[in-house]
């Protein structure tokens, strides 16, 4: 099979933890020269990490907005860049800097080959796994080690079952959680790992960010921080026993206010991440 040309896009501000790993993950999959990173503010520095010298960095002026308008503006900006990139690429991904698309190791192929083989889709979503620290069983994060060597549990969250992969120019909605005027398809072998709450100390420190608090992010961050309690208090299920049911549920049950977004299973399901995913991120 001939692998297709694939580009990946993200945006970032005031981050030192995720961007180097984002560059390493997607650079290895698609080539560092196929990565596009919006730096939010001219005060933002390019990271000093392997491959960064080949990445396409685009500085944007930092113009704070309230959370919802800011998310919409960001989605439009990334959609516009993706639309232009389709003149040069076959497939375009857009993720938050703390989100990592992974194809199941059981497929036996790498991410580029897996995506290149998909036919007949406008976009695909990976099943969302919101990874958090178990406060009783897991130590603070060592950023120099693989995340999934240190974190065993994730909340099965439809919020992160996002249509991050596009095969033609489309327009993402706010937060990249949906594609406007289109439905979604959850691929049976793709996962979106969200690591925003991967470490309690680092994640809760974000609530002290004056920029975020001034633009209405406080409540949003507090809701995300509830993940630590969900994971610590859960009786986790083996991921492989629940993944198929979660895909079916999220595909069939959709919120009335947004039928092109997946619905959330009740009961805050927490899974133990299968061991074959260890060391991938």
Q: Is the pLDDT at 223 greater than 90, yes or no?
A: no
pLDDT band at 258 (very low <50, low <70, confident <90, very high): confident
CA gap 192, 177 in Å, rounded: 12
Domains of the chain from N-terminus onward = 6-277 (3.90.550)
pLDDT of residue 18: 97
Classify 271 as helix, strand or coil. strand
> Is the model more confident about 180 or about 205?
180
In this structure, are strands 91-94 and 165-166 parallel, antiparallel, or unpaired? antiparallel
Q: What are 123's strand-pairing partners?
A: 166
pLDDT of residue 212: 55
Instruction: Give the global pTM.
Output: 0.93
What are the tens digits of pLDDT across the range 102-142?
999 999 999 999 999 999 999 999 999 999 999 999 999 99
Q: Is the pLDDT at 208 greater than 80, yes or no?
A: no
Cβ burial 245-257 (10 Å sphere, 16+ → b, else e): ebbebbbeebeee
CA dihedral (239, 91, 111, 96) positive or negative:
negative
pLDDT of residue 54: 98
pLDDT of residue 255: 87
**H or E element in which residue 212 lies:** helix 210-214
């Amino acid at each position: 099979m001939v692998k297709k040309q694939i580009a990946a896009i993200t945006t970032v501000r005031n981050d030192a933890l995720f961007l180097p790993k984002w560059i390493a993950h997607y650079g290895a999959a698609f080539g560092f020269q196929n990565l596009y990173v919006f730096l939010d503010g001219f005060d933002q520095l390019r990271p000093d990490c392997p491959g960064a010298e080949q990445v396409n960095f685009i500085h944007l002026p930092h113009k704070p907005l309230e959370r919802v308008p800011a998310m919409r503006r960001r989605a439009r900006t990334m959609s516009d860049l993706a639309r232009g990139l389709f003149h040069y690429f076959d497939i375009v991904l857009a993720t938050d800097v703390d989100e990592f698309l992974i194809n199941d190791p059981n497929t036996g192929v790498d991410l580029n080959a897996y995506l290149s083989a998909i036919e007949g889709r406008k976009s695909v979503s990976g099943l969302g796994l919101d990874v958090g620290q178990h406060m009783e069983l897991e130590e603070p994060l060592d950023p120099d080690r693989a995340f999934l060597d240190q974190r065993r549990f994730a909340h099965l969250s439809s919020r992160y079952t996002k249509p991050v992969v596009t095969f033609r120019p489309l327009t993402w909605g706010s937060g990249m959680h949906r594609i406007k005027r289109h439905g979604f398809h959850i691929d049976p072998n793709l996962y979106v790992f969200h690591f925003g709450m991967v470490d309690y100390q680092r994640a809760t420190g974000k609530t002290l960010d004056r920029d975020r608090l001034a633009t209405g992010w406080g409540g949003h961050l507090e809701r995300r921080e509830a993940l630590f309690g969900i994971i610590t208090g859960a009786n986790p299920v083996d991921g492989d026993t629940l993944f198929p049911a979660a895909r079916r549920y999220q595909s069939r049950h959709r919120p009335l206010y947004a039928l092109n977004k997946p619905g959330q299973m009740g009961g805050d399901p927490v899974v133990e991440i299968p061991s074959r995913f260890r060391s991938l991120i």
